[in-house]
Amino acid sequence: MAFNIRMGLPEMAALWNDLSTRKQQGRLDKDEEKFFKKLVKALGYLGQNPRHNSLASHEIDDLTRKYGLKIFQSYLENNTPSAGRMFWAYGLDQGDITVLAIEPHPEDQKRGAYQRIKLSSLPSAKAKPEEKRAGDKK
């Protein structure tokens, strides 16, 4: 089953719009170009199979408890200092995956490492984006 990839609001949507627009205009610097390529590849894997071996996707219990919905982490890269990680959740609709954050790998050996991660909101047709944050109770 292929998944529809959405970007969380407003941070992830803004990041994606900025990168993709500047990519089309040929205005990404070398590091941004490298990051964009990794992101597109990871999003492709995520859309086809969230359990793809390259992603090493797994639930992050600390974030699941904090936001009240299952939050997963997937690799953008591996074997790299501060390797990039994508945080995402299933939804808003069936067949959707919403990317909620991209961060360097938290030092998960340290207590509270995931507490500093701020997630974008899930898009919603019923609530304005700024009114509905990931994990907000109804």
pLDDT (tens digit per residue) in 76-127: 987 765 678 999 999 989 999 999 999 876 665 556 678 778 899 988 654 3
* Residue of higher predicted confidence among 9 and 131: 9
What are the sequence ranges of the domains in the chain?
Answer: 4-131
Q: Would the pTM count as exceeding 0.85?
A: no
Is domain 4-131 classified as CATH 3.90.1150.10? no
* DSSP structure string for 26-86: T---HHHHHHHHHHHHHHHHHHH-TT-TTTT-EE-HHHHHHHSS--EEEES-SSSTT-EEE
* Long-range own/partner contacts, residues 79-85 (CB < 8 A, 24 or more apart): 84/35, 84/38
pLDDT (tens digit per residue) in 12-46: 999 999 999 999 999 999 999 999 999 999 999 99
Q: What is the model's pLDDT at position 130?
A: 39
